[in-house]
Amino acid sequence: MGVKSGFVVGFGVGYVLGSKAGRQRYEDIRRWWNQFTGSPTVQRAAVRTKAAAADASKRGLEVVQTGVEKAGSAVKDRLHKDDPNDPLVDKLESQSGRSPERGPDTAKEAFGGRKKT
């Protein structure tokens, strides 16, 4: 419920409950409300509104689920991606099983630069 409609409903309830007009005015308002809500036009509008809200919520849920699935698969692909151009992976694979005597001092040395002597 929006702020404006909440305000209107609150105002109406406050007016009805706190009315100084007496019992007669309260009965008039109650009779008008029952006629209004019992009207076939209002009943049809309420049914259509409920159906539209249900459809919109289903579509919204589908959109959210699709987005979550896409994000999940993108993260999974990113985590399990084998990038042959990744220099760190190449360097680690070439060094697996052996310990270098002296490690590189800079990133340039580690990834194909000249070694210090």
Instruction: Please answer whether residues 49 and 73 qualify as being in contact, where contact means their C-beta atoms are separated by less than 8 angstroms.
Output: no
Distances (CA, A) of 114 to 33, 60, 86, 91, 102: 88, 57, 19, 15, 14
Please say if the pLDDT value at position 117 is more than 60. no
Q: Which pLDDT value is given to residue 62?
A: 94
What is the residue range of 8's domain?
1-38
Report pLDDT for 24. 81
The Cα–Cα gap between 48 and 52 comes to 6
- Whether 62 is in a domain gets the answer yes
7 and 29 housed in the same domain: yes
Amino acid at 70: K
First to last CA, the chain: 75
Same domain, 33 and 57: no
Residues 11 and 32 occupy one common structural domain: yes
Interval 18-38 mean pLDDT: 82
Residues 34 and 59 in one domain: no
Is 27 part of any domain? Answer: yes
For 75-106, the pLDDT digits (tens) are: 877 776 766 555 665 666 565 555 555 666 66
Cβ atoms of 104 and 110 within 8 Å: the answer is yes
In tens, the pLDDT along 36-79 reads: 888 999 999 999 999 999 999 999 999 999 999 888 888 877 77
- Residue 107 to residues 33, 43, 83, 98, 112: CA-CA distances in angstroms? 78, 73, 19, 19, 9
| pLDDT number for residue 12 | 79
Tokens linked to 97: 């099983």
Buried b (16+ CB within 10 A) or exposed e, 66-81: eeeeeeeeeeeeeeee
pLDDT of residue 11: 81
Count structural domains, the chain.
2
Q: Model's pTM, two decimal places?
A: 0.41
